[in-house]
Chain A
Amino acid sequence: MSLLREKLENSKDLVFTAEFPAVDGGGMESVQKNVARLAPWFDAVNATDNPAAHAHASNTTTAIAMKMHGLEPIMQIVCRDKNRIAIQADMMGASLHGITNLSLLTGDDVTAGDEPEARRVFDIDSAQAINIARVMATGTYLSGRAIKPAPDFYIGAVENSAAPPFDYRIQRALKKHRAGARFLQLQICYHPDRLEAFCKGVAEVAPDLKLIPTIVIVKGAKPLGFMHDKVPGIDVPAQTLARVQNASDQSEEVYSLTLELAQHALSLPGVRGLHVTDFRHDDSLARFMSDLGRTPRN
């Protein structure tokens, strides 16, 4: 059984997940370095699927490489680049290598990447992908063709708690849960009130669904402004931005803000851990995790 599933389903422990840096070159040596940096702190780490519509080493191969080096993968699959046949092949391929954690999402549009002229696929959407994974875990492909023995999947998905239509996001989480999602990794959210309303609402309609909000460790006001201006679906309130911009020590101020957001997120109903994205790549990750009371494992 995956450590992620064990912790989320059979314990009350918090789980911490992260994103594995996209692999472009550097071979297994680079994988090893990143595993060494992440493994002490995280229970499982996402093997991304061409994040932000940029081509990298594939989701499945990255997940296999992580597993080989002892880091539990959560294999992401996005709906942008592959049709339903290829997505089922991804899932079966993961299963072949003993990879069971899945995170299934729509994915950024091709226009977010460096090849906006590419054909977008979106043959199925994330809710449909979740249902297909659930069905495969009962022993059949979408077509009805048998899979013996059935693959073992622990199915996750993603939801944005802070994007319109706000009220509907709770229902959408419920739809994904009914389709088969056991946990949701939430997108970055700089509106604690929206996150709170979402988590409370989900805890009411789907108390069994495990929520993992995302926290991003950044260096200062510039990356906050970048996310606000350039990443659709992320809104940084003006006063939050001003708080960091006007601070005498931006780096320290944004760190305090990040810690506050994390502590608030962890206090919410249904929240079972955090998904941490580190854009600072300095000693902040260790400081952040220690401030949350975590100790590195050997």
Chain B
Amino acid sequence: MLKKLLPLVEHALKVPVWDCKMCGQCVLHSTGMTCPMTCPKTLRNGPCGGVREDGNCEVKPEMRCIWVKAYDRTISLPLPKVWKEHYNDLRPPVDMQLQGTSSWINLVTKRDQQVPAGWSVEDGGH
């Protein structure tokens, strides 16, 4: 029941405010409350090299680059320090299996922290 209800509530709340794409692995807190899935290239790790001189998007010239927005907001919004510190984290690839599910449930169950076995392998002296 909750599994069916929560995605609907999350959708209703987050789409109007953040244009949420329901990726199911929300990182808004670490990106200045700006959704990286609204980047036309869905980049999770910062702006591409095509950002225009005015700070707008390479793909949609009328739209502010979401990563420029995220950077400005991370600096200017009164967000918790620990959130701001996560801005430059290396975020893992999106898990497409979570598309459409509730990121709230995935946060509680820690499903959104599961990454492929190879993702976090250390170099071991390489």
Q: Is B121 touching A164 in the complex (CB atoms < 8 A)?
A: no
Q: Is B58 touching A127 in the complex (CB atoms < 8 A)?
A: no
Name 29 A/B residue pairs within 8 A (Cβ), A-sorted.
Answer: A79-B41, A84-B93, A106-B41, A106-B43, A106-B49, A108-B58, A120-B40, A123-B94, A123-B96, A124-B93, A128-B44, A128-B92, A128-B93, A132-B118, A140-B117, A140-B121, A142-B93, A143-B118, A144-B117, A158-B49, A163-B53, A165-B51, A165-B55, A165-B68, A172-B47, A175-B88, A179-B90, A187-B49, A232-B50
The answer to the question of A206 belonging to the interface, with a C-beta cut-off of 8 Å to chain B, is: no
Tell me the count of chain B residues lying within 8 A, CB to CB, of chain A: 40
The answer to the question of A56 belonging to the interface, with a C-beta cut-off of 8 Å to chain B, is: no
In the bound assembly, the distance between CA atoms of A137 and B118 in angstroms comes to 11
> With A123-B94, A164-B47, A175-B45 given, can you name 9 additional A-B contacts, CB distance below 8 Å?
A84-B93, A106-B48, A122-B41, A124-B93, A125-B42, A127-B46, A128-B91, A165-B72, A233-B48
Task: Classify the secondary structure of B's interface with A.
Answer: loop
Q: Is B51 touching A175 in the complex (CB atoms < 8 A)?
A: no
Smallest Cβ distance from A89 to chain B, in angstroms? Answer: 15
| Residues of chain A at the chain B interface (Cβ within 8 Å) | 79-80, 84, 105-106, 108-109, 111-112, 120, 122-128, 131-132, 134-138, 140-145, 158-160, 163-165, 167-168, 171-172, 174-175, 178-179, 187, 232-233, 235
A139's nearest neighbour on chain B, judged by CB, is B121
Q: Is B118 touching A172 in the complex (CB atoms < 8 A)?
A: no
A105's nearest neighbour on chain B, judged by CB, is B49
Q: How many A-B contacts at CB < 8 Å in the complex?
A: 129
In the bound assembly, the distance between CA atoms of A120 and B90 in angstroms comes to 22
Inside 8 A of A140's CB, which chain B residues have their CB?
A: 117-118, 121
Partner of B119, one of A109, A131, A172: A131
Q: Is B88 touching A125 in the complex (CB atoms < 8 A)?
A: no
| Residues of chain B at the chain A interface (Cβ within 8 Å) | 40-55, 58-59, 61, 65, 67-68, 71-72, 88, 90-94, 96, 116-119, 121-124, 126
A128's nearest neighbour on chain B, judged by CB, is B93
Q: Is A164 touching B45 in the complex (CB atoms < 8 A)?
A: no
Q: Is A159 touching B90 in the complex (CB atoms < 8 A)?
A: no
Q: Is B71 touching A168 in the complex (CB atoms < 8 A)?
A: yes
In the bound assembly, the distance between CA atoms of A233 and B51 in angstroms comes to 5
Q: Is B93 touching A138 in the complex (CB atoms < 8 A)?
A: no
Inside 8 A of B96's CB, which chain A residues have their CB?
A: 123
In the bound assembly, the distance between CA atoms of A84 and B44 in angstroms comes to 14
Inside 8 A of A109's CB, which chain B residues have their CB?
A: 40-41, 50, 58-59
Q: Is A232 touching B42 in the complex (CB atoms < 8 A)?
A: no
In the bound assembly, the distance between CA atoms of A138 and B122 in angstroms comes to 8
Smallest Cβ distance from A145 to chain B, in angstroms? Answer: 8
In the bound assembly, the distance between CA atoms of A122 and B92 in angstroms comes to 13
Inside 8 A of A124's CB, which chain B residues have their CB?
A: 93
